[in-house]
Amino acid sequence: MYAAPAWSSSLNLTQREQLERVQRRALRVILGPACRSYEDALTCLSLPRLATRHQEALEKFGKRLLRHPRLRHLLPPDVPPPARATRHQNRVAPVRAPRTDRYRFSAVPTIVRAINK
């Protein structure tokens, strides 16, 4: 999970499955014969799936980044309050439409989407 907010958003499906497979294998080693299935092992040790942990770490990092006085500039500016009451609750201005997939799946746009979610 080291620096997961920085790299987890750029993983493709194959890489996510490989990481999940490593965790599955580790749980099998930890629990031994008591491990019947991966879902049982996760509930036994009260662990979420890796994708869930990555998303939670990303949201936590984004919220801390919003409050940090020296690093706040890394995110887009705040959304101005609407003139009328709307259901739009975004806290950070959405990132402009990315030109490349590499940027779309990088950390900053993913953090903005997580904060605004």
Q: What is the chain's Cα-based Rg?
A: 18
User: Which segments of 1-117 does DSSP mark as H helices, in order?
Assistant: 4-7, 13-31, 38-44, 50-67, 101-104, 107-116
| Cβ proximity of 117 and 58 under 8 Å | no
Confidence band, pLDDT 50/70/90 cuts, at residue 91: low
Residue 89 confidence (pLDDT) above 70: no
Residue 14 domain flag: yes
Residue 58 domain flag: yes
| Cβ proximity of 61 and 75 under 8 Å | no
Residue 72 domain flag: yes
Residue 84 domain flag: no
Confidence band, pLDDT 50/70/90 cuts, at residue 22: very high
Whole-model pTM?
0.71
The number of distinct structural domains making up the chain is: 1
Query: For residue range 27-73, what is the model confidence (pLDDT) as tens digits?
Result: 999 998 888 899 999 999 999 999 899 989 988 888 888 888 888 88
Residue 45 lies in domain: 4-79+89-116
CA distance 93 to 110: 13
Residue 12 domain flag: yes
Residue 95 domain flag: yes
Q: Which residues does 77 contact at the CB level (< 8 Å), separation at least 6?
A: 92, 93
